[in-house]
Structures are given as C-alpha cells and as structure tokens.
C-alpha cells in the first residue's frame, strides 16, 4: 500500500509527495552524495523508497529535468546534470552553484601582490608596472573541485582584501558590498585547453584532460575595467548554456 501522497514542510504546510522527492534529491546533490554525471535512483526505486506511485516519481524527475538539475537518457537512466554556465547573465561561481542548490567553497591557494603583468594591466587599462592583487582559488562544490580561478585587481584599490573574506563567500558580493563597486558586464573569451600537471592535480583530472578556459575582463557600472579572471573549468562538470535571439 502506498504511503500518504502529502507530507508537511517546516511550517506545517502540506507538501506534495513529488516535492518531497525533489527535496531529497537536491539535498543529496548539495551534500555531495550525488555528483554531476552520477546516476539518480530510477522511478521505480524512488516510488518504492518514498511510498508513492510511479507517476508521482516520474513527475518529480521531470520537474528536476526542467530545472536543469538532472538529465534523462532513454534506456540509460537519469543523471545529475553538470552545472551550466549561463551566458545571458553575468554570475559568480557562488551564484552558479546556488542556482543548482549546491554550496560553493573557495580554497585560497595564493593571495599576494605582484607587478610586471603587462598583459593583465593592458586588459585593465592600467599602466604596465601597476601593482596588482593576485588571487588564485580552487572552487569546489559538493566536496569536489570544479574550477581553478585566478583573479587580478588593482592593489591600490582592492589591496585590503583578505584570505578570510575570499573563503567566506563570493568575490562579486565582496566587491559590491565592501568596496561599493557595482559590477555591470564582462567581455569574455572562451576556448578549450588541456590540464597541465599542476592543474590536473588540483582538479583531480588526468594530465592533458580537456578543460574549458574562460578569460573575463569585468567592468563596473562606470565603464571601468576593474577585474580580470582566468578560469579553468572541468569540462565534465560544466555545460555552456547560450541563449540566442533573432
């Protein structure tokens, strides 16, 4: 016999059974118990575990698919979808993961100042020998590495940024909240590359594995280039999602 088709949320409100199934799957993804590319329980197994009909379990998976959290392959099963990098909106890694019900973490590998990065200075419209704040972070979610991000900012303007601040949350939010720098848009170059020995070890992929490389020059609302980011993303964990209009 099937269990009740409804349960309650924290406020005591009735919660449809398919929502209960969705929440359970989201929680597993957020906790890292289900990782991108891994198989989700079948409709039959979900129906058995949650005491619902096959139709209810099917509806739960269909809703998760519409949200982009899972991918369903005929004859194979349902898999956790890789995070999508949305090209119709400029978002941070933290925001991207939040949209997938995943908690993003930042492990700061390097935080220092340097000078002589003439190419970066040119991208930021700064004199060639300007001192820059150099930030290298390993971006993780669900207990595994997703990307290696290297960021450059003017040390004169942003040199007070600390390791603790960077590990606490989004760099975008930090810039907007603590430095009153309103981010407007980014010019981006996207291509493919391969993992060198250092990057392969950090991202836990074989040396030479394909990576998605995104180079961003990010501008504030006053039209000033204020941040340059080089991101190396695991290609098996990210999908470019591009919306085109005509």
Contacts of 137 (CB under 8 A, 6+ apart): 106, 107, 108, 109, 148, 149, 150, 151, 166
Give the DSSP letter of residue 77: E
**Domain 8-80: which CATH number of 3.40.50.740, 3.30.460.40, 1.10.10.10, 1.10.3470.10:** 1.10.10.10
Positive or negative torsion for Cα 142, 144, 149, 211 = negative
> Position of tokens 């009740």?
4
Please tell me the total number of residues recorded for the chain in this structure.
246
Q: What is the share, in percent, of the chain residues with pLDDT greater than 90?
A: 62
78-120 pLDDT, tens digit per residue, is 999 887 776 667 888 888 777 776 778 899 999 999 988 999 9
Q: What does the pLDDT read at residue 96?
A: 79
pTM, whole model, 2 decimals? 0.74
Contacts of 21 (CB under 8 A, 6+ apart): 46, 50, 52, 56, 57, 60
Q: What does the pLDDT read at residue 75?
A: 84
Helix, strand, or coil (residue 86): strand
pLDDT at 2 over 50: no
pLDDT band at 3 (very low <50, low <70, confident <90, very high): very low
For residues 216 and 186, the answer to whether their CB atoms sit within 8 Å is yes
Q: What does the pLDDT read at residue 27?
A: 87
Neighbours of 79 (CB within 10 A): 17
Query: Of the candidates 64, 155, 140, 74, which has an alpha carbon nearest to the alpha carbon of residue 107?
Result: 140
Can you give the residue ranges of every domain in the chain?
8-80, 84-241
**Domain 84-241: which CATH number of 3.30.565.10, 3.30.2230.10, 3.40.1410.10, 3.40.630.30:** 3.40.1410.10
Give the DSSP letter of residue 5: S
Q: What does the pLDDT read at residue 95?
A: 80
CA 234/CA 194 separation, integer angstroms: 10
Instruction: Provide the greatest CA pair distance for the chain.
Output: 74
For residues 183 and 174, the answer to whether their CB atoms sit within 8 Å is no
CA 119/CA 161 separation, integer angstroms: 23
As a 3-state breakdown, the chain gives helix, strand, coil percent values, each rounded to 5, of 30, 35, 35
157-213 pLDDT, tens digit per residue, is 999 999 999 988 889 999 999 999 999 999 999 999 999 999 999 999 999 999 999
For residues 95 and 176, the answer to whether their CB atoms sit within 8 Å is no
């Amino acid at each position: 016999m099937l269990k009740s088709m409804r349960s309650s949320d924290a406020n005591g409100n009735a919660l449809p059974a398919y929502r209960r199934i969705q929440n359970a799957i989201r929680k597993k993804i957020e906790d890292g118990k289900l990782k991108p590319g891994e198989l989700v329980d079948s409709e039959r197994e979900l129906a058995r575990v949650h005491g619902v009909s096959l139709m209810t379990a099917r509806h739960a998976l269909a809703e998760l698919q519409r949200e982009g959290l899972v991918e369903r392959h005929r004859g194979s099963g349902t898999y956790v979808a890789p995070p999508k990098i949305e090209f119709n909106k400029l978002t941070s890694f933290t925001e991207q993961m939040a949209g997938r019900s995943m908690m993003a973490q930042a492990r700061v590998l390097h935080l220092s100042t340097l000078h002589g990065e003439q190419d970066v200075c040119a991208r930021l419209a700064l004199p060639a020998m300007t001192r820059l704040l150099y930030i290298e972070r390993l971006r993780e979610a669900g207990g595994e590495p997703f990307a290696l991000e290297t960021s450059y900012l003017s040390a004169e303007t942003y040199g007070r940024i600390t390791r603790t601040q960077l590990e606490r949350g989004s760099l975008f939010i930090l810039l907007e909240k603590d430095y009153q720098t309103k981010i407007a848009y980014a010019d981006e170059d996207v291509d493919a590359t391969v993992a060198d020995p250092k990057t392969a070890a950090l991202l836990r992929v074989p040396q030479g594995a394909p990576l998605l490389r995104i180079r961003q020059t990010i501008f504030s609302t006053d039209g000033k280039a204020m941040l340059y980011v080089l991101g190396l993303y695991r290609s098996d964990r990210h999908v470019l999602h591009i919306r085109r209009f005509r």
